[in-house]
Amino acid sequence: MCGIVGFNWEDKSLVRRMADAIKHRGPDDAAYFSDSGISFGMRRLSIIDLTKGIYPLTNENEDIFLVFNGEIYNFQKLRKILEEKGHEFKTDCDGEVIIHAYEEYKENFLKLLNGMFAICLYDKKSGELILARDRVGIKPLYYYFEKGNLIFASEIKSMLELSTIKREININSLNQYFALRYNPSYETLFQGINKLPPGHLIKFDLSEKSMIVSKYWDINLEKQSHKSARFYEKKLYELLKDSVKKRLISDVPLGAYLSGGLDSSALVALMSIIRKEENSDAPIRTYSVGFAKGEKVNETVYAKQVSELFGTTHKEFLIEPDVVKLLPKIVWHTDEPMADPALIPVYLLSEAAKKTSTVILTGDGGDEIFGGYDQYRVLKATHSASRIPLFRSLGPLAMRMIPLKAWNKFQKHASAIGKSTYRRGGLVMKSMKDDKARAYYELVGLFNEEERKELVKDNFFEPIDYNAINKNFFNTKRVDYMKQLQYFDFKKLLGESFLMKTDRMTMAQHIEARVPLLDHRIVELAFRMPSKYKLKGFSKTKYIFKRAMRKQLPKNIVYRKKQTFHVPIENWLDQDLKSTVDDLLNTTKLFNEKILDPHYVKKIRDNYNKGKLFYARQIWTLLNFELWHRMFIQREKIRL
């Protein structure tokens, strides 16, 4: 586990500076390589084969070189196959199978890997550089290509060591950020810096200075098998167990984040079962987090229940309000503004867990691939109703007859938003039939199109290209709507928000996070099964996942209503952050640079007391962008 950096010219000093910028990703070791027309390096967090100085890995002839970030979970099986074909290994490191698999299969080797990774391979004989990112996008990889020059890195801050990269805002990504609280685009908020999409690779010709980006894996939405619920229940359980078992391989202490929800509880249950089958006395360490003040739902009681059931060594941490002082540090680690307040508890949980574990299993991905979100219930119901004649005109009228508090059952911020709930809900209903992308953004978005047009000044405003989103995600009648919706969230919400949150906050504390639910075999199975086995009807979420785990977990864990992890930022804004928000948003250069409209920002702050739960998130989004802009664009040193 580590971070990688590089470019297509020789500069030993620059490659070291780029690697040092992400030292937090790999404090145990460093490696560098320079040749005519190529420089790359890495920082290493040792997990398997703790020997220092083994990177960059090479083949027998030492004409292929590798640095990579991640873990290959099936490396032992691949190694055996490759040894039978005559390949000789020098280390016990999982990464060495990449070198020999590339020798044997060229870029097709990527289809053999089960793991998470960002790879840099240099083939000296062919004069090619191969960059690749894992299927799901668990590990990040960024690149910048201009006038024949290619720069790449695990984090953007490494690339900003080059003075030639201008710190200019990408307007499309800026508008996406304000729409969804994260940037779902494969363009970053830095003009010219891009994300290599999951399941893609770059082939760069060093002599021609040309590159090709291609896809080596994706979900086939049209591939569907009509098996029984019992078949999928059994198959899913087998894959879950095997996935967890693969991710328990480690030469350093290992644990799990345990929220008490179905996803993390399932992992702990399977860890316990596997340990017993192996007659292992290795402890299972679990960690959970709560809030000392302002928590609306306390899930730590469920985490404690699961811990006691499986006899884990459990630690619970309470977060105090003064943690908001960490916000500049967290913004620095994310590189792009991310307005998910859960970044703070994940950062602190990782800080505490590092004392006893270096590898952590997390439950990321369960909601996206098994249909766990409330928004799926709402959008599925709306989509079904959109077939009713006159629904577009009568639906919004009928909605206004229902009190706002009643709508909280379907849209948790309904009463907090106020009467605009009716307007947003009406737009969801009107858009659903012909513009599913807009319907999605209207429901889950933080600033919808008309609000964003008031917030962002004309020279930085750009409408969301709903036509492109519809074309890429909602354009076919051959695939049911639920599957299209989950595919969008899998690619965007999970890939560009939640997985990046987990990666950045764990790596900031030198922890490797593994996500068993996102083994590509499980992902493929989930998208292959009929949608009715994920969201059954309009109310039974994660139907097949719950069936697969019902014998291993208590009923109140498996079947209790999903509780959204609530971070009490409205309490922080009322107390510890109140003066900070005043200082930052009253002295911001964003108004002078005509990025944001000061009158609309004031309107948001004036509305805060009318609906704190919702408007706190709008202010939090502004605050994160303000800190990011000062830190990365204006190059200020920020302290709260």
- pLDDT, tens digit (0-9, with 9 covering 90-100), for 464-492: 999 999 999 998 888 999 999 999 999 99
Mean pLDDT of the chain: 91
Task: Flag whether 493 is in a domain.
Answer: yes
Residue 547 confidence (pLDDT) above 80: yes
Q: What is the pLDDT of residues 405-433, one digit of tens each?
A: 666 666 655 665 666 666 777 888 888 98
One domain for residues 319 and 194: no
Report the 3 state secondary structure along 203-235: EEECCCCEEEEEECCCCCCCCCCCCCHHHHHHH
Alpha helices in 449-489 (DSSP H): 449-455, 466-473, 481-489
One domain for residues 402 and 259: no
How far apart are the C-alpha atoms of 628 and 422, rounded to whole Å?
Answer: 33
Q: What is the DSSP code (8-state) at residue 169?
A: B
Task: Flag whether 221 is in a domain.
Answer: no
Active-site position among 1, 2, 113, 150: 2
**Cβ atoms within 10 Å, residue 433:** 15
Residue 272 confidence (pLDDT) above 90: yes
Exposure class string for 460-470: b at 16+ Cβ within 10 A, else e: bbbebebeebb
Task: Flag whether 223 is in a domain.
Answer: no
Task: Flag whether 638 is in a domain.
Answer: no
Task: Flag whether 224 is in a domain.
Answer: no
Give the range of the structural domain holding residue 364, as residue numbers without chain letter.
229-368+488-558
One domain for residues 93 and 162: yes
Residue 441 confidence (pLDDT) above 70: yes
How far apart are the C-alpha atoms of 365 and 355, rounded to whole Å?
Answer: 26
Task: Provide long-range contacts, Cβ within 8 A and 24+ apart, for 433-440.
Answer: 433/386, 433/391, 433/392, 435/466, 435/470, 436/383, 436/470, 436/474, 436/481, 436/484, 437/464, 437/466, 437/467, 437/469, 437/470, 437/473, 437/474, 438/464, 438/466, 439/379, 439/382, 440/379, 440/485, 440/488
Last residue of a domain, one of 151, 183, 215: 215
Total count of domains within the chain:
4
Task: Flag whether 194 is in a domain.
Answer: yes
Arithmetic mean of pLDDT, 44-50:
73
How far apart are the C-alpha atoms of 180 and 438, rounded to whole Å?
Answer: 12
Give the least confident one: 494-498, 548-552, 584-588.
584-588
Arithmetic mean of pLDDT, 1-6:
88
* pLDDT score, position 209: 97
Q: What is the pLDDT of residues 226-253, one digit of tens each?
A: 899 999 999 999 999 999 999 998 888 8
Q: What is the pLDDT of residues 129-177, one digit of tens each?
A: 999 999 999 999 999 999 999 999 999 999 999 999 999 999 999 999 9
One domain for residues 21 and 61: yes
Last residue of a domain, one of 215, 244, 269: 215
One domain for residues 357 and 253: yes
One domain for residues 356 and 383: no
Q: What single string gives the DSSP state of each residue in 347-375? A: HHHHHHHTTT-SEEE--TTHHHHHT--HH
Q: For residue 434, give the amino acid letter.
A: D
One domain for residues 168 and 262: no
Active site residue 120: no
One domain for residues 540 and 588: no
Res. 534 pLDDT band, cuts 50 70 90: very high
How far apart are the C-alpha atoms of 212 and 201, rounded to whole Å?
Answer: 8
| Of 296, 266, 297, nearest in space to 361 by CA | 266
One domain for residues 125 and 81: yes
* pLDDT score, position 387: 84
Arithmetic mean of pLDDT, 509-530:
96
Residue 564 confidence (pLDDT) above 90: no
Residue 296 confidence (pLDDT) above 60: no
| Of 275, 270, 252, 247, nearest in space to 75 by CA | 247
Last residue of a domain, one of 558, 578, 600: 558
Q: What is the pLDDT of residues 354-399, one digit of tens each?
A: 999 999 999 999 999 999 998 899 899 899 888 887 777 766 666 6
Left, alpha or beta for 387 (phi > 0: left; psi -120 to 50: alpha)? alpha
- The DSSP bridge partners found for residue 145 are 150
Q: What is the pLDDT of residues 56-108, one digit of tens each?
A: 999 999 999 999 999 999 999 999 999 999 999 999 999 999 999 999 999 99
Starting at the edge strand that comes first in sequence, how are the strands of the sheet with 313-319 ordered? Answer: 313-319, 285-291, 254-257, 359-361, 512-514
**Cβ atoms within 10 Å, residue 77:** 14
Task: Flag whether 222 is in a domain.
Answer: no
- CATH code assigned at 165: 3.60.20.10
- CATH code assigned at 259: 3.40.50.620
- Peptide bond preceding 253 in cis form (omega within 30 of 0): no
* pLDDT score, position 399: 67
Task: Provide long-range contacts, Cβ within 8 A and 24+ apart, for 624-627.
Answer: 624/327, 624/331, 624/337, 624/338, 624/339, 625/177, 625/178, 625/337, 625/339, 625/590, 626/584, 626/585, 626/588, 626/590, 627/327, 627/328, 627/331, 627/337, 627/584
Arithmetic mean of pLDDT, 330-355:
94
The first and second tokens of residue 158, run together, are 């490494």
User: Is the model more confident about 516 or about 293?
Assistant: 516
Task: Flag whether 564 is in a domain.
Answer: no
